Amino acid sequence: MNHPYDLAFVRYVASALQVLMREPEQAEAWAAQTTPVSDEQGFPLWAADGRITLGWARAHRGRVEERVALIREDVRRAAAVGTRIGMTAFLTRLAEALAVGEAFAEALATIEDALRANPEEVVYRSGVLYMLGTLRLRIGEVETAEADFRKALTIAHIIGAKSYEIRAATTLARLMHARGEVAGARELLAPLYASFNEGFDTSELKDAKALLSELTSKLVFVRALNRCHFLSPNLPRELS
């Protein structure tokens, strides 16, 4: 329709989609188009969101400290508009940028703020919990992180957010694999991956496919080895 508000909004949505797809370069390109028209026409929320997304994208591409400062300032601007819509996502992007710079304590405090910002924004909750688990995993809190991933998985399944669901399931399966729970990891991941009929070029499904291939190969090897033990009981056990 070539209406300024529509143009600002659709560009914001495009940039948000690229954030979800973990594509910082494309997210930056769309966000760079969001901010000028929003500033010119007086759409402060979309202008702030555009700059937050720009900061997130550029933090993933270097100059982290500068970008964190910009994101923090635009989160304040978004809050000044008086809306809580999107604050969960804005704070999560700030936490991600902090994590890129390995400021894990501050990132954890920020993600806790994201959980409290607007609990009614259930659409973002799985992503927030996943980020919380990721941060806890980075600082060695494996059991707590796994609980966060399981909560993220449950919420994503309930609301039908399959991208968040496969992301959480893949991370959980990887943790289970590390503990030697190969069959359980595959049982968790395989049915969910099989339920997709598109999006196979996205990072989530590429990661899931690679892990499934590894789990399947290991299961085939273990079963073959067990059969060898059954047929040749004198085979040294340390080979397994």
For tokens 């202008």, name the residue. Answer: 47
Residue 215: phi and psi, rounded to 5, are -65, -45
pLDDT of residue 240: 41
Please name the residues in contact with 95: beta carbons below 8 A apart, sequence gap of 6 or more.
Answer: 107, 108, 110, 111, 114, 131, 135
The alpha carbon of 88 is separated from its chain's Cα centroid by a whole number of angstroms, namely: 14
Q: Which two tokens stand for residue 235?
A: 């085979």
The alpha carbon of 9 is separated from its chain's Cα centroid by a whole number of angstroms, namely: 23
Return the exposure string of 159-197: e unless at least 16 CB atoms fall within 10 Å of the residue's CB, then b: eebbbbbbbbbbbbbbbbbeeeebeebbebbbebbeebe
Q: What is the 3-state secondary structure (H, E, C) of the chain?
A: CCCHHHHHHHHHHHHHHHHHCCCHHHHHHHHHHHHHHHHHHCCHHHHHHHHHHHHHHHHCCCCHHHHHHHHHHHHHHHHHCCCCCCHHHHHHHHHHHHHHCCCHHHHHHHHHHHHHHCCCCHHHHHHHHHHHHHHHHHCCCHHHHHHHHHHHHHHHHHHCCHHHHHHHHHHHHHHHHHCCCHHHHHHHHHHHHHCCCCCCCCHHHHHHHHHHHHHHHHHHHHHHHHHHHHHCCCCCHHHC
Q: What is the pLDDT along the chain (240 residues), one digit of tens a residue?
A: 778 999 999 999 999 999 888 898 999 999 999 989 999 999 988 888 888 888 888 888 776 777 888 888 888 888 887 778 888 998 999 999 999 889 999 999 999 999 998 888 899 999 999 999 999 999 999 999 999 999 999 999 999 999 999 999 999 999 999 999 999 999 999 999 999 999 999 999 999 999 999 999 888 766 666 666 555 555 555 444
For tokens 């809190």, name the residue. Answer: 141
pTM: 0.84
